[in-house]
């Protein structure tokens, strides 16, 4: 009986790349050596290991990570329904919590008394991150008419300007953003964020109610009720004497919040694909891609931390715990620099993104061959070739193409995250994270690199595009390189025309230069004549005076 799931690429890895692993300088879990990674290659003895087992932290590491980030309290907030009739609550609420965490971190930077921190760069990066989050929130609630809102007409007028009608707005009482007007240096930043909310929430049927102008007079989200800013603030972690403790914990809390959003979106994608709504699933897939890019921007904040303060905190948090010499930990031990791998949610969301491949047969409408045949790949190839030639009598399959493209966009963003995080580990903690003290330990950077080196998540899509490119390459109807030759010919023609024009211009310039020389010579002659006359006059005057 044929399966409805695409074949697992790990089972067909040997057929995917017919390469002798012993001829490679590095190969681990399907990976290959890459010059972009400056660290020591992974030992060849790890070539056939399971990547899921490789990055699995110990239960104690997971527990300490979750306690440090107050994840039990945050999960309680995420999973406690406040509006049972609002289906998007479980997705939107963590996003609002994350926005409030960015406000909290910004407030901390505004009040940080350390004179040596890069405060201006911190504020620029946090403002950029907040705007990214506001944009993503607007995408999440686009078309959502079930959210708990308050009618704009029931609120007092605000943002009154001379000669214009007043706009209806409201300022949250509990959000940290409402506390900024009285803080030095925060007024302009707050105004920019409020205008960003006003602009991005134009696509939504309501606005957030954080004090933005609300020129359209739209309903206002019950922000304090849904986001509960005071409870989010209570999850703050800040050890005395460690100014970067709050930074590190808040960055990872933001990470966990958006992973919760991504998890909800991935479930919605599966439901929509099974319901035949390819366009709706594709829209949510593109949001998942944006979430991964937001996670990357979030982790990028760690580069601005003060190196000395962070290294001291890192030691006391035991992030760089190494195994003792003589004790065999096996290959499950990961260098401490891969701190994000202690996140259960990160591993689950990464796995769920890979498992989107199981939705490809349902989306295309063709069952995968359990024996590994090319049936699904050929169907996708045919879809790519024929969807632009649809007639009025055939249903459009463009939505399926958009969905398949968004699947691969998610894959690209996942790989970008792990690649960039690996480089971040080296930049923040030093290249020593590539090196290990014990032969049985795997460095953090090496563990992270395996996510980047994995085979394609969607082998049928990858194969279909490969063969589609080969088809057009061998097509007699197309002439290879014709566009570039035309561009080269046009450039040559333009260069020749420019030469004649420049030659004419140079002639004109020579004439002008000659005229300038004549005028300069005439001016010099006149000046010399004036000097001679003046000298003669003075001499005559002196002669008459002494006579």
Cβ atoms within 10 Å, residue 375: 16
Structure tokens, 490: 């046009």
- Mapping DSSP to helix (H, G, I), strand (E, B) and coil, where does residue 443 land? coil
DSSP code, position 234: T
Structure tokens, 307: 């190196």
Structure tokens, 243: 């100014």
pLDDT of residue 47: 43
Q: Using one digit for the tens of pLDDT, what is the confidence trace for 461-506? A: 998 898 888 888 888 888 888 888 889 888 888 887 766 655 555 5
DSSP 280-339: HHHHHHHHHHHHHHHHHHHHGGGGGS-HHHHHHHHHHHTTT--PPTT---GGG-B-TT-G
Nearest to 126 by CA among 303, 305, 309, 297: 297
Classify the C-alpha dihedral 20-26-29-34 as positive or negative: negative
Instruction: Return all residues near 155 (Cβ < 8 A) that are at least 6 apart.
Output: 168, 169, 170, 220
515 HSE (CA, 13 A, CB side): 6
Element (H, E) at 129: helix 119-140
Lowest mean pLDDT among 30-39, 144-153, 355-364, 450-459: 30-39
User: Sorting pLDDT into bands at 50, 70 and 90, what band is 102?
Assistant: very high
Task: Report residue 221: phi and psi, to 5°.
Answer: -65, 140
Domain boundaries, the chain: 84-228
Greatest alpha-carbon span in the chain: 135
pLDDT of residue 332: 38
Of 142-151, 203-212, 512-521, where does the model show the most confidence?
203-212
pLDDT of residue 429: 84
45 or 212: whose pLDDT is higher? 212
Nearest to 119 by CA among 255, 305, 302, 307: 305
DSSP 221-287: E-HHHHH-HHHHHTT----TT-HHHHHHHHHHHHHHHHHHHHHHHHHHHHHHHHTT-HHHHHHHHHH
Contact 420/297 with Cβ under 8 angstroms?
no
pTM, two decimals, is 0.79
220-221 and 167-168 strand pairing: unpaired
User: Sorting pLDDT into bands at 50, 70 and 90, what band is 54?
Assistant: low
- How far apart, in whole angstroms, are the C-alpha atoms of residue 48 and residue 199? 51
Element (H, E) at 150: strand 149-150
Of 28-32, 112-116, 378-382, 519-523, where does the model show the most confidence?
112-116
- How far apart, in whole angstroms, are the C-alpha atoms of residue 14 and residue 542? 110
Tokens 């403002």 appear where? 127
Of 290-299, 303-312, 449-458, where does the model show the most confidence?
290-299
- How far apart, in whole angstroms, are the C-alpha atoms of residue 504 and residue 492? 19
Contact 325/438 with Cβ under 8 angstroms?
yes
Structure tokens, 117: 């921190």
- Mapping DSSP to helix (H, G, I), strand (E, B) and coil, where does residue 219 land? coil
| Burial 75-86, CB ≥16 within 10 A → b, else e | eebbeeeebeeb
Tokens 């399971």 appear where? 50
Alpha carbon distances (Å) from 218 to 152, 161, 227, 300: 6, 19, 19, 35
- How far apart, in whole angstroms, are the C-alpha atoms of residue 43 and residue 28? 7
- Mapping DSSP to helix (H, G, I), strand (E, B) and coil, where does residue 462 land? helix
Lowest mean pLDDT among 104-108, 282-286, 514-518: 514-518
Q: How many residues belong to the chain?
A: 547
Q: Using one digit for the tens of pLDDT, what is the confidence trace for 280-289? A: 999 999 999 9
Structure tokens, 207: 């606005």
Q: Which residues face 484 on adjacent strands? A: none
434 HSE (CA, 13 A, CB side): 15
What is the C-alpha radius of gyration for the chain, rounded to an integer number of angstroms? 33
User: Sorting pLDDT into bands at 50, 70 and 90, what band is 226?
Assistant: very high
- How far apart, in whole angstroms, are the C-alpha atoms of residue 312 and residue 314? 5
**How many secondary structure helices (H) and strands (E) does the chain include?**
19, 4
For residues 302-331, average pLDDT: 69
The answer for 52, left when phi > 0, alpha when psi is -120 to 50, beta otherwise, is alpha
Task: Report residue 67: phi and psi, to 5°.
Answer: -70, -40
pLDDT of residue 500: 60
502 HSE (CA, 13 A, CB side): 6
Burial class (CB in 10 A: 0-12, 13-18, 19+), 248: buried
Structure tokens, 361: 């047969």
Contact 440/318 with Cβ under 8 angstroms?
no
- How far apart, in whole angstroms, are the C-alpha atoms of residue 443 and residue 333? 9
Structure tokens, 203: 């696509």
Q: State the chain's mean pLDDT as an integer.
A: 78
- How far apart, in whole angstroms, are the C-alpha atoms of residue 344 and residue 65? 10
């Amino acid at each position: 009986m044929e399966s409805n799931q695409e074949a697992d690429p790990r089972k067909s890895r040997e057929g995917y790349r017919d390469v002798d692993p012993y001829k490679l300088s590095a190969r681990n879990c399907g990976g290959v050596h890459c010059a972009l990674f400056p660290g020591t290659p992974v030992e060849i003895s790890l070539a056939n290991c399971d990547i899921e087992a490789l990055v699995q932290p110990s239960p104690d590491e997971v527990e300490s990570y979750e306690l440090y980030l107050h994840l039990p309290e945050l999960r309680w907030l995420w999973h406690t329904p406040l509006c049972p009739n609002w289906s998007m609550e479980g997705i939107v609420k963590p996003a609002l919590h994350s926005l409030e965490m960015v406000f909290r971190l910004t407030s901390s930077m505004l009040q940080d008394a350390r004179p040596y921190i890069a405060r201006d760069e911190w504020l620029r990066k946090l403002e950029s991150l907040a705007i990214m989050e506001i944009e993503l929130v607007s995408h999440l609630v686009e078309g959502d008419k079930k959210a708990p809102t308050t009618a704009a007409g029931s609120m007092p007028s605000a943002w009154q300007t001379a000669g214009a009608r007043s706009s209806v707005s409201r300022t949250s009482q509990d959000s940290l953003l409402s506390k900024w007007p009285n803080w030095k240096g925060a007024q302009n930043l707050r105004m920019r964020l409020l205008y960003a909310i006003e602009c991005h929430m134009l696509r939504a049927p309501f606005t957030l109610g954080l004090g933005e102008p609300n020129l359209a007079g739209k309903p206002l989200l019950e922000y304090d009720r849904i986001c509960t800013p005071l409870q989010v603030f209570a999850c703050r972690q800040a050890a005395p004497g460690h100014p970067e403790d709050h930074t590190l914990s808040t960055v990872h809390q933001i990470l966990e919040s958006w992973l919760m959003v991504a998890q909800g979106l991935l479930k919605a994608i599966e439901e929509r694909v099974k319901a035949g709504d390819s366009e709706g699933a594709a829209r949510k897939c593109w949001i998942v891609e944006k979430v991964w890019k937001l996670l990357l921007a979030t982790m990028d904040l760690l580069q601005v931390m003060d190196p000395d303060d962070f290294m001291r905190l890192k030691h006391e948090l035991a992030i760089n715990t190494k195994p003792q010499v003589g004790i065999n930990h096996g290959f499950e031990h990961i260098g401490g620099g891969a701190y994000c791998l202690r996140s259960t949610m990160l591993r689950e969301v990464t796995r769920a993104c890979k498992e989107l491949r199981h939705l490809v047969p349902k989306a295309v409408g063709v069952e995968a061959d359990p024996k590994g045949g090319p049936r699904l790949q050929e169907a996708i190839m045919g879809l790519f070739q024929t969807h632009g030639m649809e007639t009025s009598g055939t249903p459009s399959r463009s939505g399926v193409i958009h969905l398949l493209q968004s699947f691969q966009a998610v894959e690209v963003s996942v790989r970008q995250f792990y690649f960039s995080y690996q480089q971040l580990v080296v930049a923040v903690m030093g290249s020593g994270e590539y090196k290990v003290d014990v032969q049985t330990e795997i460095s953090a950077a090496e563990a992270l690199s395996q996510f980047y080196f994995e085979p394609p998540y969607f082998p049928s899509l990858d194969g279909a595009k490969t063969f589609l490119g080969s088809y057009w390459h061998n097509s007699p109807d197309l002439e290879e390189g014709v566009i570039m030759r035309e561009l080269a010919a046009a450039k040559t023609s333009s260069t020749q025309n420019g030469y004649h024009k420049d030659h004419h211009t140079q002639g004109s310039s020579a004439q002008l230069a000659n005229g300038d020389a004549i005028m300069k010579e005439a001016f010099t002659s006149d000046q010399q004549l004036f000097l001679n006359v003046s000298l003669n006059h003075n001499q005559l005057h002196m002669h008459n005076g002494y006579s």
